Structure 1
Amino acid sequence: MKPFLFLGTRAQDLAADGEYDAVLRFTGLDERDVRRVRLERDELGEVDLDAWSGIVLGGGPFNISDPEDAKSGTQRRVEAELRALAERVLERDSPFLGACYGIGTLGTLRGGVVDRTYAEPIGAVTVTLTDAGREDPLTGVLPETFEAFLGHQEAVSRLPRGAVLLGEGAGCPVQAFRLGRNVYATQFHPELDVEGIVTRIHVYAGYGYFEPADEQVLVDGARAATVTEPPHLLRRFVELFADY
């Protein structure tokens, strides 16, 4: 089988390794089948799309909508590398699944707009599939309505031209969309279970995502949530696109 490529942007090792481990666990693959590049540390370089079954992009602290003068050189490099890759992926309609930061990467293409209009705090939200989402070969594996973990400062306020809305939420209208037949983005995190989000709450306390005094409240809320369905997306992505 051709391996999958996993792209991460988290500088914090505990969160970065936890994200990668979750992708391995929920795809059912091992490290030989999922190669990782940490973009906050290493340049992406040339990606031969024919060498990979598909690409998965994780979340991270970068926001496309950050003011340009507030972006570090690393952030600007990562954005440029991912935008160039996304353009090639769309041109080829190569299998791609971007979680959270994938919204920023794909959502600004083809006239789409990503801004701070529909930010959501860390926690569990209800996501509802659209008619297209229920019929889609990837998202159709999920129930019509399910709970998912997220936390984001930006979101899509206008879909790219040609995008198909797959999932929506009360506080954020675009929770998942597809471009072409094989290019997907989700605002929620399909790799997050309860322990995963608790780890991230602890790791990112003091990074401006929430008031430090709210850390335990967020942990308690996460532990009270019932989030079981989103990880099925990762295994389904492999089932659909693994190139044997």
Structure 2
Amino acid sequence: MKPFLLLATRAEDRPADEEYGLFLRYTGLAPDDLVRIRLEAGPMPAIDLDAISGVFVGGGPFNASDPIAKKSAVQQRVEAEFAELLDRVVARDFPFLGACYGIGTVGAHLGATIDGTYREPISIVPVTLTDAGMDDPLLAGMPRTFEAFVGHKEAISALPPAAMLLASSPDCPVQMFRVGANVYATQFHPELDVDGITTRIHAYADHGYFAVGDLQPTLEAVRRAPVSHPSRILRRFVERYAR
């Protein structure tokens, strides 16, 4: 099998390594079949799309909507690299699944409106599939509404015509969309479980995802309901696109 890629941007080793472990667990892939590239650590290498099965993008602290003056040199490099990669991915309709930061990369590439209007605190939210989502092959077998982990300071407030809306939540209208037949992005985190999001809550406690003093309420918020369905999307992506 040609490997899948995981493009990652987390600078902190523990959440970065745990993210990779979660993608391995829920895709069912072995390490040799899911090659991680940590973009915060160095330039994106040349990626031959003919040599891989598909691309995953994890979450991270970068915000596409930040003013250019607030973006580090690393973030600006990563954004430029994603722009070049997505030119090829979208043109070829190549299998791609971006989670959280991944939705910002694809959204920015399409010219979507991305801002803080629909930010969501770290929590569990009900995500509901649209009619198009119910008919989408990647989401086959998913319930119409399912619980998912979220936590983001920006979101897409207006999708361009090229994108098909697949899922929404009460406080965030764009939770998942598709471009073409094979390019997907989610605002929620399909890779997370309770242990994984707990690690991130502690790792990013001073990054503005929740107010000072709200650590314990935030930890409690991610335990209020079981979350089991989103990870099925990762396994389904592998089953559909492995070649």
Q: TM-score by structure 2 length?
A: 0.98
Structure 1 contact 113–156 (Cα < 8 Å) conserved = yes
Structure 1 unaligned segments of length 5 or more: list them.
none
Alignment of 1:226 onto 2:226: yes
* 1:121 corresponding residue in structure 2: 121
* 1:133 corresponding residue in structure 2: 133
Partners of 1:212 and 1:111 in 2: CA distance = 34
Equivalent position amino acid for 2:132 in 1:
A
Alignment of 1:87 onto 2:87: yes
**Residues 1-244 of structure 1 mapped to structure 2, 5 A cutoff:** 1-243=1-243
Alpha-carbon shift at residue 84 of structure 1 (Å): 1.1
Partners of 1:11 and 1:176 in 2: CA distance = 25
Identity fraction in percent: 58
Deviations 1:16-58 (A, max 9, x none): 0111000000001110000000001121021111111000000
Structure 1 contact 139–166 (Cα < 8 Å) conserved = no
Partner SS, residue 10 of structure 1: coil
Q: Which moved more, 1:203-212 or 1:34-43?
A: 203-212
Structure 2 unaligned segments of length 5 or more: list them.
none
Structure 1 contact 141–233 (Cα < 8 Å) conserved = no
Partner SS, residue 137 of structure 2: coil
Alpha-carbon shift at residue 111 of structure 1 (Å): 3.1
Q: Show structure 1 runs of 4+ deviating over 3 A.
A: none
Tell me the C-alpha RMSD between the 2 structures. 0.9
Structure 2 contact 124–224 (Cα < 8 Å) conserved = no
Equivalent position amino acid for 1:42 in 2:
G
Partner SS, residue 11 of structure 2: coil
Equivalent position amino acid for 1:66 in 2:
D
Structure 1 contact 112–161 (Cα < 8 Å) conserved = no
Alpha-carbon shift at residue 110 of structure 1 (Å): 3.1
Structure 1 contact 109–160 (Cα < 8 Å) conserved = no
Alpha-carbon shift at residue 75 of structure 1 (Å): 0.5
Alpha-carbon shift at residue 116 of structure 1 (Å): 1.2
Alpha-carbon shift at residue 193 of structure 1 (Å): 0.9
